[in-house]
Structure 1
Amino acid sequence: MPDMVPGGARPVILVVEDEVPLLTLLRYNLEKQGFRVEEAADGQEALLRVAETKPDLVLLDWMLPQLSGLEVCRQLRRRPATRDLPIIMVTARVEQQDSVRALDIGADDYVTKPFAMDGLLARIRALLRRSGSVASRGRLAFRDLVMDQDAHRVSRGGRALHLGPTEYRLLEFLMQHPGRVFSREQLLDAVWGRDIHVEPRTVDVHVRRLRKAINGPGEEDVIRTVRSAGYALDAEPG
């Protein structure tokens, strides 16, 4: 069963897919797991449905009528109300540069067709956990970075930061272990989970996005890249 959002409501998944058989299959399996499912068949409808239903997560097909999934993702990331909305891109495109492109646009995860339903459900649950559907555990601080885990808010020097769910979980893990160097594989296990296959290069994309979000003009970069080793939260020269 899915983790419940605060108040015990069923998480809402918006499935944006124009292939009716796949849409039917996704609805069946998601509802069987206790999720509430909303649907959109093209990019324009997807933007309207997000505004109407305020989903907890979007399963977004890349190739759509009206607007592509990439453009839908780009527009959602530009809007303050949906900047942090968890998005999983679903596509038949299998080239690695396509997955990196989707992540750069703002997707939190990327699944290629055909996919195993169990694997997709695991990714959905993991992303919902990272997005704050489960109550968290207090307050973390590192230098002028402060994370309020209960309110799911992050600030630096009193300035509110806007992080996507994956960047939030990545920063949370690093703040729990300041100064320690983690390899890409260790970060994948800690943030994405051992049961989910993600390319190590994905870590680099999310670290880049995290750096952009937390390092303002003139501020010290608090994430250290350790050549051939990984990343650490300590802002010391590598």
Structure 2
Amino acid sequence: MKLTPRTVRGARWSVAVGPPSMLLAILVGAWLGHALEYVRVWGTRGFGGLVSRSLHAYMGPVGVVLLLAGVVAAASSSLVAAELERGLEQLRRGMRTGLGAGGRAEAGIGVAAVRRPAIVGFSTLVAVLWLSQLPIYLIQENVEAKVAHIPTPGMGTLSGRHVLAPVVHLGVAVAVACVLYLTRRRVTQLADEVRRTGARLAALRRSAPAAPAPRPRDRWWTPAELWGRQSWSRPPPALA
């Protein structure tokens, strides 16, 4: 599927991402931010001992699950791109046939049938990831403290030795957004082209003249239908 230069320029610094991909990116970012913050504070040796002998032992299996989910999501981008290519071809077919008889109906079907992921700006994506990772980090720290029967730190998780945790999570959010941008570049370009073509097709549907209503055919009425069947039947004989 050939894309126009305008489409490629319009998709620059934008990322097409659906709710499942966004949720996975947030979870991966929260896991990476949590792990890197503890590596920053405790070092690589201290982090290994902390994970193996504390409540943070769950982070190992969770990390493996998120890694596998990320691999599957990256591989599925080709399937999403193929679906968008089929939808784009359907919209372009509607553009070609939309001027003929019945074009309004076909154009409406084409616009409604093609589904595409939302396109968000790169800075917006980074902000959403960062603002979603921090609450997850706070919840993790407070739940871990409650399970360990120690006072929950609340917002104190972002102070003291962990005062740079927001900066670490911001760096992770930028890195995750870059990965999404690189792995979903083709999907982003196709989704932007689908949006533009769908808008042109919708405008064509609104401006196209309505198909003339079919003219009713003349109907011949039978005598029974004109005057009723009772007018053509003999009356009963009179009683003597």
Same fold (TM over 0.5): no
TM-score calculated relative to the size of structure 1: 0.20
Q: Which has the higher helix share?
A: 2
Which protein, 1 or 2, shows the higher relative CO under an 8 Å CA cutoff with sep ≥ 6?
Answer: 2
Question: Which structure has the larger Rg over C-alpha atoms?
Answer: 2
